[in-house]
Amino acid sequence: MRASLADQARAPAEGAADLAIALGANLPSPAGPPLATLLAVRPLLAQLLADWQAAFADPGGGAAGQLIWSPLFRTAPVGGPVEQPPYLNAVLLMRAAGRPGCAAAGALLERLHELEQRFGRQRRQRWGPRSLDLDLLWWGALRCRGGALELPHPRWRQRAFVLAPLAAIAAARMPPEARPTAGAAAAEPLAGLLNESLSGADDPPPLRLAGRPGWPE
In a domain, 86, yes or no: yes
| pLDDT tier for residue 13 given thresholds of 50, 70 and 90 | very low
**Mean pLDDT calculated for residue range 157-162:** 84
pLDDT at 209: 96
- Domains identified in the chain, total number: 1
pTM for this predicted structure: 0.83
In a domain, 58, yes or no: yes
In a domain, 215, yes or no: no
In a domain, 216, yes or no: no
| pLDDT tier for residue 127 given thresholds of 50, 70 and 90 | low
**What percentage of the chain exceeds 90 in pLDDT?**
45
pLDDT at 8: 32
Compute the distance between CA of residue 9 and CA of residue 173 in angstroms, rounded to an integer.
8
98 three-class SS: coil
In a domain, 42, yes or no: yes
**Domain span including residue 49:** 5-208
In a domain, 197, yes or no: yes
66: domain CATH number is: 3.30.70.560
**Mean pLDDT calculated for residue range 140-152:** 88
Of 147-161, 178-192, 198-212, least confident by mean pLDDT is 178-192
Compute the distance between CA of residue 211 and CA of residue 69 in angstroms, rounded to an integer.
11
